[in-house]
Chains A and B, each alone.
Chain A
Amino acid sequence: MNMAKNKTILYALILAFTFVSPFVFPNFGTQLATLWLMIIVALTWDMTGGQMGYNSLGNIFFYGTGMYVAALIAIGLVYDVGDYTNAAGGGIYKFTDLEYFGGMALGVLGAGLFCSLTAVIIGYLTFGLRGPYFAIGTLGVAIAAGELVSNWDWVGGGQGIALPVYPGDLDTGKVFFYFLFAAIGVSVFVFVKWLYGTRFGAAINAIRDDEEKADAMGIHTLRYKLYTWAMAAFFVGMAGGVSAFQLIHFEPLESAYQTINLGIFMVVCVLLGGKGTLWGPVVGAVLFHLFKEITWNYLLGWQWVALGALIVVTVVYFQDGVMGWLEHKRPEWFGIKVEKKIAGETE
């Protein structure tokens, strides 16, 4: 009972912090928004990587595609996309408040749905691959997508797309985007917390532990894999869509399909926090983001070296991550124990 009460208090505290932090730390608005983005991509990466045993290096594909889909929907609703991208941000294209927010809402939602659909198609082609082959296969998809988009003039080619600026006060805009990311982040957490408790969650865990056995027990393995990735892609796509409007201007290789940045960061966050646990990706994202911001500020010039060192140390010495380490040190916190014999039972 005490445990449940503590948990409720913990959740209340986190939620309260979520609400007040952009006002308490107004100078860190963008960093806090990025933190939520990291939490979103880490939690969704763990859905397939940690819970289902399919380590995708291509989830960044959904982020980038989400950006483009959201932007194209928002622009396409008002103007001709080809003309708009041709002007490359030239100022003749105005958006009213309704066009801006309406376009963003539809764009972000459309990005999520489109990414779900592509996840099913790509998953159908790549889920026959196992282990490192799946990782490399999905990485290939993300890299190829970045290159294709950067050669596609209709969507702005290598220059990318410049979206309209947030209509209104810039600081309000920061808070606005922070809360958009926070809302998606909280939704993802609540969603996966629920999902992992269902039969669906059990089935994807079974696929992770022994897919052949899961087959032999009659589980529709391919179907579960596709649905799981589609769900993950939905949230990543929406986060990408929000990022597009937050960044205002984005281009294909460095900001949309940024395989070596966010594409790798999300994996590191999960490994650092603990793969296959509910809280691991969240804890990992927070630690990673703190580490990244601190080294970027105080170790400038050496920040990538520090980051590389962190990755190496995590992968070599700390594979189970923070939550895995805790589970090993304090198994009783996780309910791992020998039960007393029940009365009347002989054996």
Chain B
Amino acid sequence: MTAIIEVQDVSKSFGGVVANQGVSLSVSSGAITGLIGPNGSGKTTLFNSIVGYHPIDSGSIKFEGEEISTFPVQQIARRGLLRTFQQTRIYGAMNGVENMLISLPHRKMKIWDALKTFTREDYERADHLLEFVGLYEKRMLKSGDLSFGQQKLLEFAMALMNEPTCLLLDEPTAGINPTLINGLIDRLKRANSEFGITLFVIEHNMRVIMNMAESIYCLAHGEMLAHGSPEEIQNDQRVIDAYLGAH
């Protein structure tokens, strides 16, 4: 399998705090890759570096073979590399359908296309994806009034609406109740298999990530600690130590 994201030797510090130190990893095209690590180990910083939220200090980040480490957020998003947020971000004053319609991919739009109204296909696609995440009935409600879990689902549906080639998910199951989590795992897997979207997932819930990912990276103290299949990671003494605090 070819790598869609290649991170080489990336370092990032904030003042004196080293968030990432010489991190390298690669995300295989079409697969689900996991990223785990204790709180404060630099997972979200790495995500932010990849999608262009802040410049990196050194190293290289490639998406589909192209160096993207100097691009701003919008340009990277328009290349089809999208992220969701740990603190869910949706457009709270708008209803579900509007949230979906806004998320139509702008990378395929010319400026004149912006002056068109939404087509029936757009609405059908929005409805279809809202149904896919189980929010169809609540699609006309102000999305700011939805529960946190529902907002997470909506954000996921919005990301799918954008037709990304690769989606970075920052803790997709955090704050979602256990029953809903099973449904979400299923949908993430389907997004991967049915829509062909490469997923790169930060997750704290071991059950979730072991269930989904084919390959898992583990960060600790800003450095890459381990990499392997779910079984290898589960049995890796260093990973267990990192999580149980034996450092």
Which of B19-27, B30-38, B58-66, B72-80 lies at the interface with chain A? Answer: B72-80
Q: Could you say which of A202, A205, A219, A339 contacts B139, with CB atoms under 8 Å apart? A: A339
Q: Could you say which of B74, B83, B93, B158 contacts A220, with CB atoms under 8 Å apart? A: B74
Does the CB pair B94–A199 fall under 8 Å?
no
B206 nearest CB across to chain A (Å) = 26
Assuming the A-B contacts A216-B77, A339-B136, A339-B140, are A198 and B162 also in contact, with contact meaning beta carbons closer than 8 angstroms in the complex?
Answer: no
Residue A329 at the B interface, CB < 8 A?
A: no
- Alpha-carbon separation in the docked complex, A340 to B138 (Å): 9
Does the CB pair B118–A217 fall under 8 Å?
no
Does the CB pair A199–B140 fall under 8 Å?
no
Assuming the A-B contacts A198-B117, A213-B85, A339-B140, are A218 and B77 also in contact, with contact meaning beta carbons closer than 8 angstroms in the complex?
Answer: yes
* Neighbouring B residues of A336 by C-beta, 8 Å: 95, 140-142
Does the CB pair A199–B83 fall under 8 Å?
no
Residue B246 at the A interface, CB < 8 A?
A: no
User: Interface size of A by Cβ–Cβ distance < 8 Å?
Assistant: 35
Does the CB pair A199–B89 fall under 8 Å?
no
**Interface mask (A70-110 → B, CB under 8 Å = 1, otherwise 0):** 00000000000000000000000000000000000000000
Residue B149 at the A interface, CB < 8 A?
A: no
* Neighbouring A residues of B103 by C-beta, 8 Å: 217
Q: Could you say which of A195, A218, A223, A276 contacts B105, with CB atoms under 8 Å apart? A: A218
Does the CB pair B102–A197 fall under 8 Å?
no
Residue A5 at the B interface, CB < 8 A?
A: no
Does the CB pair A209–B94 fall under 8 Å?
yes
Residue A347 at the B interface, CB < 8 A?
A: yes
Does the CB pair B111–A198 fall under 8 Å?
no
**Interface mask (A207-222 → B, CB under 8 Å = 1, otherwise 0):** 0111011111111110
Assuming the A-B contacts A216-B82, A217-B162, are A205 and B102 also in contact, with contact meaning beta carbons closer than 8 angstroms in the complex?
Answer: yes
**Across the two chains, which residue of chain A brings its CB closest to B144?**
A209
Does the CB pair B114–A203 fall under 8 Å?
yes
Does the CB pair A202–B115 fall under 8 Å?
no
**Interface mask (B83-95 → A, CB under 8 Å = 1, otherwise 0):** 1010001111111
**Across the two chains, which residue of chain B brings its CB closest to A197?**
B117
Residue B194 at the A interface, CB < 8 A?
A: no
Does the CB pair A220–B137 fall under 8 Å?
no
**Interface mask (B169-185 → A, CB under 8 Å = 1, otherwise 0):** 00000000000000100
* Neighbouring A residues of B120 by C-beta, 8 Å: none
Does the CB pair B106–A218 fall under 8 Å?
yes
Does the CB pair A217–B141 fall under 8 Å?
no
Residue B101 at the A interface, CB < 8 A?
A: yes
Residue B113 at the A interface, CB < 8 A?
A: yes
Q: Could you say which of B82, B104, B136 contacts A199, with CB atoms under 8 Å apart? A: B104
- Alpha-carbon separation in the docked complex, A127 to B92 (Å): 22
Residue B116 at the A interface, CB < 8 A?
A: yes
Assuming the A-B contacts A213-B89, A336-B95, A345-B131, are A199 and B74 also in contact, with contact meaning beta carbons closer than 8 angstroms in the complex?
Answer: no
Q: Could you say which of B98, B140, B183 contacts A202, with CB atoms under 8 Å apart? A: B98
Assuming the A-B contacts A198-B116, A337-B140, are A218 and B78 also in contact, with contact meaning beta carbons closer than 8 angstroms in the complex?
Answer: yes
**Interface mask (B127-165 → A, CB under 8 Å = 1, otherwise 0):** 000010010111111100000000000000010001000
- Alpha-carbon separation in the docked complex, A209 to B131 (Å): 24
Q: Could you say which of A198, A205, A217, A347 contacts B77, with CB atoms under 8 Å apart? A: A217
Q: Could you say which of B91, B117, B118 contacts A205, with CB atoms under 8 Å apart? A: B91
Residue A300 at the B interface, CB < 8 A?
A: no
* Neighbouring A residues of B83 by C-beta, 8 Å: 216
- Alpha-carbon separation in the docked complex, A2 to B72 (Å): 49
Max chain A C-beta neighbours (<10 A), residue from B118, B140, B162:
B140
Does the CB pair A217–B142 fall under 8 Å?
no
* Neighbouring A residues of B102 by C-beta, 8 Å: 202-203, 205-206, 214, 217, 219
Assuming the A-B contacts A199-B115, A199-B118, A341-B137, are A209 and B74 also in contact, with contact meaning beta carbons closer than 8 angstroms in the complex?
Answer: no
Residue A16 at the B interface, CB < 8 A?
A: no
Q: Could you say which of A200, A205, A217, A342 contacts B94, with CB atoms under 8 Å apart? A: A205
- Alpha-carbon separation in the docked complex, A199 to B101 (Å): 8
**Across the two chains, which residue of chain A brings its CB closest to B73?**
A215
Tell me the residues in window 305-347 of chain A with beta carbons closer than 8 Å to chain B beta carbons: 335-342, 345, 347
- Alpha-carbon separation in the docked complex, A96 to B205 (Å): 81
- Alpha-carbon separation in the docked complex, A202 to B114 (Å): 9
Does the CB pair B136–A342 fall under 8 Å?
yes
**B interface residues, Cβ below 8 angstroms from A:** 51, 72-74, 77-78, 82-83, 85, 89-95, 98, 101-107, 109, 111, 113-118, 131, 134, 136-142, 158, 162, 183
The 8 lowest CB-CB distance pairs between A and B, nearest first, are: A218-B77, A209-B91, A213-B89, A218-B78, A200-B114, A347-B134, A202-B102, A206-B102
10 chain-A/chain-B pairs, Cβ below 8 angstroms: A199-B101, A202-B101, A205-B91, A209-B94, A210-B89, A210-B90, A216-B73, A219-B102, A221-B74, A338-B137
Given A198-B116, A200-B115, 11 more contacts at CB 8 Å?
A195-B115, A202-B101, A203-B102, A205-B91, A205-B98, A206-B102, A209-B94, A212-B89, A218-B105, A218-B162, A341-B137
